[in-house]
Amino acid sequence: MLCVARWLVLTREKYAKDLVSRGYTEDNARYWAERKVLPRKVSGNSYAHSWSEPSVSGTAVNKKFGADLRYIYQKLQNDVANQGIRSAATRYAAWWITSWRTSWTTY
């Protein structure tokens, strides 16, 4: 989610600078930038979303699935067994989960 947070900060800064250049005060520009530029979210039926922009690129995992790595690992295994993985973001999430699986801690 760091890439999503970084994208949000950069996009709001860019929008606020544009508003200042149009005559808004610094405070008003920041206020409207926070209202206009909203955080990106991964839909509830997707494992992850990836994108690439000049300033920020990366993959964001759905909050529901990302809360418990064991859960997403089991769901990914089930999906691969039943239907295969279609999207690039889901393939990346599957790779990421399986590559870090050995370092998980059992609570």
Residue 36: per-residue pLDDT: 96
- Note whether 46 and 85 are same-domain residues: yes
pLDDT at 103 over 50: no
Contact 13, 26 (CB under 8 A): no
List the domain range (segments joined by +) for residue 17. 1-40
For 30-46, how does the pLDDT look when each residue is reduced to its tens digit (9 = 90+)? Answer: 999 999 999 877 777 77
What's the pLDDT at 77? 73
The number of domains in the chain is: 2
Look-up of token digits 């920020």: 56
Reported as a single tens digit per residue, the pLDDT across 38-97 is 987 777 777 777 777 777 777 777 777 777 777 877 777 777 666 655 666 666 666 666
Q: Is residue 87 domain-shared with residue 63, that is, in the same domain?
A: yes
What is the C-alpha to C-alpha distance for residues 42 and 36, in angstroms, rounded to an integer? Answer: 19
Q: How far apart are the first and last CA of the chain?
A: 23
List all residues 6 or more positions away from 39 whose beta carbon is below 8 Å from its beta carbon. 4, 5, 8
